[in-house]
Structure 1
Amino acid sequence: MTVPIDRRYGPTHEWYLLEDDLLVLGVTEQGQALLGDVVFAQLPDVGSHVQRGQACATLESVKAASDVICPVDGVVIAVNSALSDSPELINDDPFDTGWILHIHPSGSPDEWMSPEEYLAQAE
């Protein structure tokens, strides 16, 4: 299982990458594998406010629908519009072209797992 060391992770299989004052959010390799083939991504509007611990997107697969949980309070700055036509990017490349949201966070994040902690809980 791939777990990039430049990111932090959540207990519901999201990854978080801080880039300057933005947070990039996606689903881990294990998360997309648990979902199965993603066939639809319901994304919020740019400018939407998101809340820590709440759903900020929904991914639908051939198996089920699953919420993507937001790790911070903030405002959605960008969504991956490529997922509208190609939701399979989440399966094909979850750590790069399969990103989901860019969020401008308010406040500082807490309770994120390191790559090592995520690997330990994922086993």
Structure 2
Amino acid sequence: MTLAPDPYAALCPSRQVLDRVGDRWTILIMRSLAGGPRRFTELAREIEGISQKMLTQTLRGLERDGLITRTVTPTVPVRVDYELTDLGRSLGEPIAALERWAVDHMGEVLDARDRYDGRETEIPGRQPR
């Protein structure tokens, strides 16, 4: 008997899939690759703040999960291109929707952070500063 996937169960493989696609670097790399194949250096330039190590790790994970392909062209220097697979392209709309939501609601989130950060911590018997 096979159990249905349950992302709330720690050992369920669906949890690993959610961990992969929910990672901030994955989202940015996937959105960048939605515009077509990119070289490693192009991705590194486009995605500000990502380290070479993190870009390499994330690309390897995406390739392992079948979301991207890595094509090596034996030139001097060697050319390596990354591209979305059909499976990776199927994630395009959900990731684009998440990006749109973040952009559309950025102001509200920043306002909420300001309100949260500005409130005093309430400790019984302690006078506010």
TM-score over 0.5 for the alignment?
A: no
**TM-score of the aligned structures, taking structure 1 as reference length:** 0.29
Q: Which has the higher helix share?
A: 2
Higher radius of gyration, 1 or 2: 2
Q: Which has the higher strand share?
A: 1
**TM-score of the aligned structures, taking structure 2 as reference length:** 0.28
